[in-house]
Amino acid sequence: MRIFKLKKEYLFPFLESISEGADLWAPTKKPEGKHSFQIIKDFSQIDLDYTRTILPPRKIFLPPSFNMFKATEKKYEADFSHVTEKIIFGLHPCDIHAILIMDQFYKHHYNDPYYIEARNNTLILGHSCWPDEHCLCKSAGTDIIEEGYDLFFSELEKEYLVWIGSSKGDDLIRRKPDFFDENITDKDIQKYIEWREEKDKAFSVSIDFKNMPDLMELKYQDPLWEKLGQACLACGSCSNVCPTCNCYNINDKPFLTENASHISRCWDACTLESYSEVAGGENFREARSLRLKLYYTHKLQAYISKYGKPACVGCGRCIETCPVDINIKTVAQSLDNETVDAFWDRFAKEVTK
């Protein structure tokens, strides 16, 4: 792997030089304090001092709602207007791992051109991070990233170590060769190693993911699911903020004057009431507990069985989002017989009093 050193003051000039002809997406701070990936018009918008964004970066590839076709009776015209040249800067390792999972999913069996085209036209520029009390990436094995990025910026005190992950990434560096220093000193290496060791110690929670497939199987009828179902607000937020959720719905939006429609695609969530309802009103998962089982089967069991790693990358978004504390941490801990402090547990005691 090729590694360079970049002085911090060169970062924005470098980004400016490479983002010609492309949308540059980066984390920005919202007025209420949370972060969000946005298209950058002005470099002062970029805020790298963030732990996680509200929505995961998949929104950049497949927006919450977009048109797949303009359809008339005789012809379907594919609409790929969501596919533009993009650079995403500031992605943390967990989010890059999630993109790797998406890459695999959208190429499985059938190719999804709407994802693949968007992905092929996007450069991934990662950035190092520091865990907070919700980060589970170390447990998920996603705290370190070895592939999936074009460039990765590890932040040291005054400079970045820039890891080149692809040939395209190497091309980027060549646009400003003067910015990048090949001489990485022993001191730099030592600083990086120290940082790694410090970061490793900074995690406050952990989940044993490798036990989860068995526990999901053995505890499929556990009363835990009823408790979760009672409290779940069925708001769909856990899916919408999850970087590896991929469900969607298709709608036909007819034009008023022309005999034509937009066929649009929007995110769906398996925790929503209507998710498994078929025509005629039969709902295969009317109970909220069944829908939660599906969600957690996907995250904690199915993917591990299929690909040897969980479909959870430990980003902590569900922990930060669910109003009733149903999240990967509380569910996994409960499956593992740990006591948790969660609204759903207090509520279950309240209603069975």
Interaction of residue 17 with other proteins, rule CB under 8 A? no
Read off φ and ψ for residue 126, nearest 5 degrees.
-85, 170
Q: Which of 48, 184, 234, 340 is close enough to bind other proteins by CB under 8 A?
A: 234
Q: Least Å distance between CB 32 and other proteins?
A: 5
Interaction of residue 250 with other proteins, rule CB under 8 A? yes
Subset of 113-142 contacting other proteins (CB under 8 A): 113-114, 116-117, 121
Q: Which stretch binds other proteins (CB under 8 A): 3-11, 111-119, 163-171, 186-194?
A: 111-119
* 98/248 Cα distance (integer angstroms): 17
Q: Least Å distance between CB 17 and other proteins?
A: 11
Interaction of residue 340 with other proteins, rule CB under 8 A? no
Q: Which of 133, 168, 189, 220 is close enough to bind other proteins by CB under 8 A?
A: 220
Interaction of residue 222 with other proteins, rule CB under 8 A? no
Interaction of residue 12 with other proteins, rule CB under 8 A? no
Interaction of residue 204 with other proteins, rule CB under 8 A? no
CB neighbourhood size of 104 (10 A): 12
Subset of 279-338 contacting other proteins (CB under 8 A): 279-280, 284, 288, 290, 294, 297-298, 301-303, 305-306, 320-324
Q: Least Å distance between CB 268 and other proteins?
A: 7
* 15/4 Cα distance (integer angstroms): 16
Read off φ and ψ for residue 241, nearest 5 degrees.
-90, -5
Interaction of residue 236 with other proteins, rule CB under 8 A? yes
Distances (CA, A) of 187 to 7, 299, 308, 330: 15, 41, 37, 41
Handedness of CA 39, 43, 48, 51 (dihedral sign): negative
Interaction of residue 83 with other proteins, rule CB under 8 A? yes
Name which of 36 and 211 has its Cβ closer to other proteins.
36
Q: Which residues pair with 266 in a beta bridge?
A: 65, 249
* 197/114 Cα distance (integer angstroms): 40
Q: Which stretch binds other proteins (CB under 8 A): 136-144, 167-175, 190-198, 244-252?
A: 244-252
Helix (H, G, I), strand (E, B) or coil at 216: helix
Interaction of residue 112 with other proteins, rule CB under 8 A? yes
Can you spell out the DSSP letters for 90-138? EE-HHHHHHHHHHHHHHTSSS--HHHHHHHHTEEEEEE-----TT--HH
Interaction of residue 91 with other proteins, rule CB under 8 A? no
Q: Are 299 and 310 in contact (CB under 8 A)?
A: yes
Name which of 77 and 197 has its Cβ closer to other proteins.
77
